[in-house]
Structure 1
């Protein structure tokens, strides 16, 4: 289980209005100051552009080596993030935050490298120009006429701990440019013509000043909140932007972000899928929606995707639920005639807004950026069988009409030709239905409309009938296909919901990671329709594949065993972020890797194969649902394992405490008697008679025997618990075992009346004679402890149902009924008014030995007084014994 990193490095951004204002120079000066203060500073990447002043400032600063990659056929240097993470300085300098890395790098963009460094706890100094901020991209394009392709999400600057504005007057900047202090001379003239014009510089300078001012205002507001300083706060509200597949939807998102930032409100990005617009969307439009929603997320918006019938109604309902104070929509580019026919979306929203401000933004279509993932729509072949089927149904309707022409009439015949149209639309879609309608109209005109056998129409009223027929066919075909598509979508959603429910129900009682992983990939692959792999960490923390499903993909080709696949999965696991295909991190991988993330932990990685197309929003929601369920299931298993480990640790601690208390007491008594007797014999041997000395020696012998039994019980318990006890199987005579046991206890048994009753012709046993002797000794010793002196102890042995039953009965106080099943537990002692010595291990050892022989042991209350403990051992040629216990 991977713990999410809590410590984060400090990010300082040196912001400028344009290149050449001195951002890198100021950053290097600050680095020298930190180095003089004793900071561990390292330069990861600084672009000097050949400027001597900048190169001189680099002297004296530790510089990390770069890596080299292939850029358009040339070997180019690039910042090596692995070297930085290995060196891990306290402060690292990374120039040009908006830079795009060369192909083959871990991340597509440099700001992603900086995010990883910050996550690793490394402080970062970096530089950025105002035109590279994502939300200002379209404004910069309008001002300068230059489209900046390398941009940085606003969230990077919002999370920055410090933003320092580096500003110089436009005249000084132009002077530096002419002197060759910004670009090398061949680039200077072109830069001055296109970008470095006085108007452009002033506009960019104003934008940087406003941006920094808003940053300062935000910091001040946070300070007032933290210190509970009262003031006039802006009313809390939300700005909602409507996201669609429109080419200029990205401009709406940026405009909405600027509006939300200006009024200090939260931004909500909503994409509404209506049945009339959802199904015709192709891969290009879906990809654009996905890209626009991702842009909104990068700008800090809360993304929402809603499915509804009425676009205006859904927008207003979402706005009311989300407490939206302003809605940003794009100005429609439809013609006036189209709006008169369909109605104006803007007018409908304004009429139904009820106090919500409506901002209508007009934008120009943007060129779709060239992403690292190219989406190509699946080419569907022309299915002639659908059109032939429609034609066949039309022919059948024609034959039927010809046969019953006199009885049906023209009206009923015309209605009959609508049936093939409806069936074609229901089975195959709108275009086969339109073809069927044309065929039916031609057959109706040629065969039934006078003059027959010609396409000429004698009466003009039939022309109106033809037009109405075509309109009805068009409406019926389109609506039928729409219903068919909605039914298919509903079935897909129902199948997805059922699969999620079934998976959550089936894993509810499973605590095996392997079973959960197998069930996850099976259900997820069937629902998503893609190959799925689950990777979980092993004991060393390294990811390994636990389960995989291929959904028809060749196993030897798509298994994520290559370096790029494992690197992407490992990066996703370590950083808790998406990686692989359709992301900006290690996007050359064939799988999209999603971390299985819970509240505080990352428990694994789910990989989804992405071949030609990007992951769609609906698929993304399904994948998120699966990863959420899988993460909860995996963490539940790991928590259960931790709970079991904690329980075992607690039980072990309890047993250790009980063992210590019991052993310390039980060993102290015989040890004290031995020490006392030995001291007496050593110090005053001449004062005692021979009989007294013998009594002292017998006390020593008895104490030593007791200590021997205690140590033997401890060793036997340890061997039973560890599984190291091995049985030495041989033929055993029960009479010999009883006799040997009583001989070892002869000194103790003198104080009791022993009665031994062994049935005649008792069969031999195939068992471990030494261990059975130990069992009998422990049971007899236990009987003597709880029986008064001179009382009878009865030992019996008799055959019964293919076993030999041996019992030991005493006349003690007896065992309470509720304790009969507990006396064989470790350290369990019956509460007695009179203290009885013992560790509580003897009967527990007896149970382990007898069960190892395949027998049973139990305790019974005697009818009059006392307790009987019986055990039985099977009489068979081959005793069924666990292999680990057989020597």
Structure 2
């Protein structure tokens, strides 16, 4: 076999691989498609289920309706049936498929009959196909059945064929996205015979069906529809295969179809016509609604109708868009050219010739300027719901504007009377036109039209002979009056249109400004609380809604921030949980609990759902328009990125802290293993020697009393060093954990220094000690134990790094605001380049490699002194050695006590 091979586009290949990966995690849907009830769809589904069960596949029945047919009931035997869920509605017990039980049971295949079925009130989803989608998302394969008349795009065709309006419908995308479709076909003669034999309905129902829906002509037409739909499905599979394998085909560039809708009730017919045309041409299709400045005053009922049309288009698989423009025809054609549209589908409502002459025809403008784009016109032949007219009520503010317009004309008339004798009457027309312009710009369309009409009457009454009469002697003035009226009306209408355009631009500018502000604020937010607060405030401002953001915490969704007065009940929390777990929108205007007052949108990232936004629209209608829904989707992605960024920063911070902790633990273990071993070995050696001397008289005579005292002093000194090491470790742990709490009290520095020096008596025997402590030192407030620890660490350093016989000085200096304490030695010192590191954890000078120590002492000193509100620094002596100096405030306030 030879195929014209073409290397696939890398981007397309990546997108296909990602799609296949996502599809692999989802369950497979097989639909048994028939053209009418009784052709054997359920029977064929049950037979297929038995075949799979015999192959060892786990198959259960989620919901099967036998309609009392014995053959079908017989096939149910041997299959596990999930018990149905019972609910009560208006005193009646109703049963429905138990969706949660099916998902919990998690078989390999579940049978769900009657895909187009409408669920009982109170169910999680209004339609059964939505239950099936949730089962598929759980990774369970589904076998289901449906008749051709239940497809949304064919409902009006079926109604024309059969005269019956089909209420239970499914979106065409359900068929399009099915993994396998098996057409269950039966010749019409055999079906009619089965019907007469009572194998489809009982006798009375069968007779009624034969007389109405099951007429031979109806069945033939429905059978043709099902065969065509199945053929289209096979054709689309073939095209998909060729595209997937990059096989060059003979097809030209595909058509693109654009369906234009308005608030007119014929929108549904336009959308279904567009869907059928797209199916016939295998074309991509769009549905577009153009919002002009006049739509700012659209009644709520019409807005709801437009939203319903857009929802229907989405269900039928269209790409939906809503754009703003001053001219509908111009905006439609610009959109068509930008998206390479080849065919436009538009409607032509039944309107009078006068209406089109005065207002113009959008469809005529589109045809006139369409160029090479084909235009398909759908006429309004079916009876439609009359259009809602805006109900205008004159408020006090509106009456005041009309009153101002009349006052303006009175002023112009008085002014005209004053200058009348200096001007020709026709020149006064400009003054009245000025009044009309002022009314149009500042008071609105209505007052401007009133000013146009009244200005003609006033001009005639007060300035045209005969004065104070509406009679006109010179007929030429009639043309003047007519011109004044027409110009006034044009000016008032143009000014009002300009005002609407300005208002629309202001709304867009306000939204853009809020988006820009949101971007800047989210970029500057450093904590999760800041992000959710900024996001909630911005959502409420942009969408005129109350909002809440919920994020996962310990396995449950928790409200992090919400608009004032908004609280969630149990049902709304359950909706939010569902939206979070399934990464799908739920609530108002969705397929899941669409009648709810709130809408929940997941915060989706590449790693899945990380939270949920909840919206409760304010104002009349309490519904989210298509434009606001698109804005909300954009905001959700924007906010999700900000939340993920903060989470990643927090995770990186935690990871860095963990690495530092592990480093600290490793360094401590390495250091402690030696530092603990040395004093413990010395103490153990002393105790062993003393113990053996007591047991052996010969050895006891060799260890005189003086030697024993020296050994005990050595052990005591090693124990003190060990105690100092343990204290340092404990203090470092507290400092790292931020749990150091100072026990502030009165302290005499002379006594404190003396007690520390006494502990170092043995080690200071090789170092002359100088004390420079004035007698008039004040009593200070400090934690005596911690300050003693600081002095001990500094004195220990001085002893370690000073040569034997060199002096050590401990001094105290009184300053106006604080007390300075210093320890000076004559040791080897610290290089200038390392002075900045001396108080870092684990710092040990490059010249001190032969000296024991953990490198924690100075770091602990810094933490303790700063906790007291003081400072500490290391200074090189002019001649030799180092001076460590730290300060303590003379009085420590409450802040120091609570650290």
**TM-score normalised per structure 2:** 0.87
Q: Among 608, 613, 627, which residue is 2:616 paired with? A: 608
1:539 aligns with 2:553: yes
1:428-486 deviation digits (Å, cap 9, x = unpaired):
43333333333333333333333343333334333333332332222122112111111
1:435 aligns with 2:450: yes
Separation in 2, partners of 1:377, 1:816: 87
1:739-786 deviation digits (Å, cap 9, x = unpaired):
332333333333334333332333334433333322222111112222
How do residues 38-77 of structure 1 correspond to structure 2 at under 5 angstroms?
A: 38-69=56-87, 74-77=92-95
Q: Among 787, 791, 816, which residue is 2:806 paired with? A: 791
1:376-435 deviation digits (Å, cap 9, x = unpaired):
977634543343333333333333334443333321333433344333333443333333
Q: Among 471, 484, 492, which residue is 2:499 paired with? A: 484
Deviation at 1:840, TM superposition (A): 1.3
1:784-820 deviation digits (Å, cap 9, x = unpaired):
2222333222222333335332211122232233433
1:304 aligns with 2:321: yes
Separation in 2, partners of 1:683, 1:236: 103
Deviation at 1:154, TM superposition (A): 1.9
SS in 1 for 2:553: coil
* Aligned position for 2:524: 509
* Aligned position for 1:413: 428
* Aligned position for 2:649: 640
Which segment is superposed worse, 378-387 or 264-273? 378-387
Separation in 1, partners of 2:654, 2:531: 20
Describe the shift of the 1:618–1:218 C-alpha distance in structure 2 as closer, same or farther (beyond 3 A).
closer
Describe the shift of the 1:844–1:141 C-alpha distance in structure 2 as closer, same or farther (beyond 3 A).
same
Which segment is superposed worse, 683-692 or 617-626? 683-692
How do residues 541-560 of structure 1 correspond to structure 2 at under 5 angstroms?
A: 541-549=555-563, 555=565, 559-560=566-567
Separation in 2, partners of 1:439, 1:867: 100
Describe the shift of the 1:344–1:381 C-alpha distance in structure 2 as closer, same or farther (beyond 3 A).
closer
Checking the alignment, whether the CA contact within 8 Å between 1:375 and 1:612 is kept in structure 2 is no
Checking the alignment, whether the CA contact within 8 Å between 1:248 and 1:364 is kept in structure 2 is no
Which segment is superposed worse, 10-19 or 61-70? 61-70
Checking the alignment, whether the CA contact within 8 Å between 1:854 and 1:879 is kept in structure 2 is no
Deviation at 1:588, TM superposition (A): 3.6
1:101 aligns with 2:110: no
Checking the alignment, whether the CA contact within 8 Å between 1:572 and 1:605 is kept in structure 2 is no
1:179-208 deviation digits (Å, cap 9, x = unpaired):
333234333233222321222222222222
How do residues 837-876 of structure 1 correspond to structure 2 at under 5 angstroms?
A: 837-876=852-891
* Aligned position for 1:463: 478
Deviation at 1:534, TM superposition (A): 1.5
How do residues 711-726 of structure 1 correspond to structure 2 at under 5 angstroms?
A: 711-726=726-741
* Aligned position for 1:631: 640
1:650 aligns with 2:659: yes
* Aligned position for 2:13: none
* Aligned position for 2:148: 130
* Aligned position for 1:569: 576
1:321-346 deviation digits (Å, cap 9, x = unpaired):
22333333345655677667777656
1:327 aligns with 2:344: yes
Deviation at 1:28, TM superposition (A): 2.6
Separation in 2, partners of 1:823, 1:619: 60
* Aligned position for 1:194: 212
Separation in 2, partners of 1:575, 1:744: 68
Describe the shift of the 1:639–1:406 C-alpha distance in structure 2 as closer, same or farther (beyond 3 A).
same
Checking the alignment, whether the CA contact within 8 Å between 2:35 and 2:185 is kept in structure 1 is yes
Separation in 1, partners of 2:484, 2:593: 57
Describe the shift of the 1:431–1:854 C-alpha distance in structure 2 as closer, same or farther (beyond 3 A).
closer
Separation in 1, partners of 2:333, 2:895: 75
Separation in 2, partners of 1:20, 1:443: 79
Q: Number of matched residues?
A: 868
Describe the shift of the 1:438–1:353 C-alpha distance in structure 2 as closer, same or farther (beyond 3 A).
closer
* Aligned position for 2:129: 111
* Aligned position for 1:9: 27
Structure 2: gaps of 5 or more residues:
1-21
Separation in 1, partners of 2:170, 2:544: 34
Separation in 1, partners of 2:353, 2:451: 34
Separation in 2, partners of 1:131, 1:23: 14
Checking the alignment, whether the CA contact within 8 Å between 1:95 and 1:126 is kept in structure 2 is yes
Separation in 2, partners of 1:425, 1:65: 70
CA RMSD of the aligned region, Å?
A: 3.5
* Aligned position for 1:778: 793
* Aligned position for 1:24: 42
SS in 2 for 1:267: strand
1:338-383 deviation digits (Å, cap 9, x = unpaired):
66777765665556445444444446447579xxxx9997763454
Deviation at 1:869, TM superposition (A): 0.8
Which segment is superposed worse, 856-865 or 345-354? 345-354
Describe the shift of the 1:675–1:492 C-alpha distance in structure 2 as closer, same or farther (beyond 3 A).
same
Describe the shift of the 1:783–1:40 C-alpha distance in structure 2 as closer, same or farther (beyond 3 A).
farther
Separation in 2, partners of 1:515, 1:379: 44
Checking the alignment, whether the CA contact within 8 Å between 1:146 and 1:195 is kept in structure 2 is yes
Deviation at 1:236, TM superposition (A): 4.5
How do residues 358-507 of structure 1 correspond to structure 2 at under 5 angstroms?
A: 358-362=375-379, 364-365=381-382, 380-381=393-394, 383-507=398-522
* Aligned position for 1:832: 847
Separation in 2, partners of 1:634, 1:75: 46
Checking the alignment, whether the CA contact within 8 Å between 1:787 and 1:812 is kept in structure 2 is yes
* Aligned position for 1:203: 221
Checking the alignment, whether the CA contact within 8 Å between 2:743 and 2:897 is kept in structure 1 is no
How do residues 274-289 of structure 1 correspond to structure 2 at under 5 angstroms?
A: 274-275=292-293, 278-279=295-296, 281-289=298-306
Which segment is superposed worse, 105-114 or 38-47? 38-47
Separation in 2, partners of 1:525, 1:219: 45
Checking the alignment, whether the CA contact within 8 Å between 2:552 and 2:610 is kept in structure 1 is no
SS in 1 for 2:766: coil
Checking the alignment, whether the CA contact within 8 Å between 1:590 and 1:611 is kept in structure 2 is no
Separation in 2, partners of 1:792, 1:675: 32
How do residues 675-694 of structure 1 correspond to structure 2 at under 5 angstroms?
A: 690=703
Deviation at 1:868, TM superposition (A): 0.9
1:474-524 deviation digits (Å, cap 9, x = unpaired):
212211211111122122222222222223223321223434434444444
Separation in 2, partners of 1:657, 1:596: 40
Q: Among 646, 659, 666, which residue is 2:668 paired with? A: 659
Checking the alignment, whether the CA contact within 8 Å between 1:606 and 1:627 is kept in structure 2 is no
SS in 2 for 1:746: coil
Describe the shift of the 1:237–1:602 C-alpha distance in structure 2 as closer, same or farther (beyond 3 A).
farther
Describe the shift of the 1:123–1:664 C-alpha distance in structure 2 as closer, same or farther (beyond 3 A).
farther
Separation in 2, partners of 1:734, 1:238: 90
Describe the shift of the 1:423–1:67 C-alpha distance in structure 2 as closer, same or farther (beyond 3 A).
farther
Separation in 2, partners of 1:429, 1:760: 90
SS in 1 for 2:568: coil
Q: Among 810, 814, 837, which residue is 2:829 paired with? A: 814
1:316 aligns with 2:333: yes
SS in 1 for 2:762: helix
